[in-house]
Amino acid sequence: MPGPDLDTRIETYYVRVRGVVQGVGFRHHTVRKAHALGVRGWVANLDDGSVEAIVQGAANQVDLMLEWLRRGPPHARVTDFHSEERYVEKRYERFEQH
């Protein structure tokens, strides 16, 4: 019996991005990209200058979002990227900027 289709299986990832990621529109561009890909969750600045996010959606879309977050928007300079899958029951309804 085949496993869940990558287009329908819901994944949730926690992401932390460091570098020049605040003051360059990182959160705004992340929300736009998430909406374009159809993923849900949130993105927020942290006091240490990094950005964190929760990304949830179909496996293929989440993979594309994680790939985009590794680079960030044009004016960002990502120097460190960390992501880990989280097993959560919560289902986000949209992608928000905090």
Nearest-angstrom CA–CA distance, 18 and 46? 10
Distance, C-alpha 84 to centroid of its chain: 11
Nearest-angstrom CA–CA distance, 59 and 55? 10
Establish whether 27 is a catalytic residue: yes
Domain ranges (residues) in the chain:
10-89
State residue 9's pLDDT score: 83
Establish whether 60 is a catalytic residue: no
Q: What is the pLDDT of residues 12-46, one digit of tens each?
A: 999 999 999 999 999 999 999 999 999 999 999 99
Q: Is 10-89 assigned to CATH 3.40.640.10? A: no
State residue 2's pLDDT score: 53
Select which of 18, 45, 60, 70 is catalytic.
45
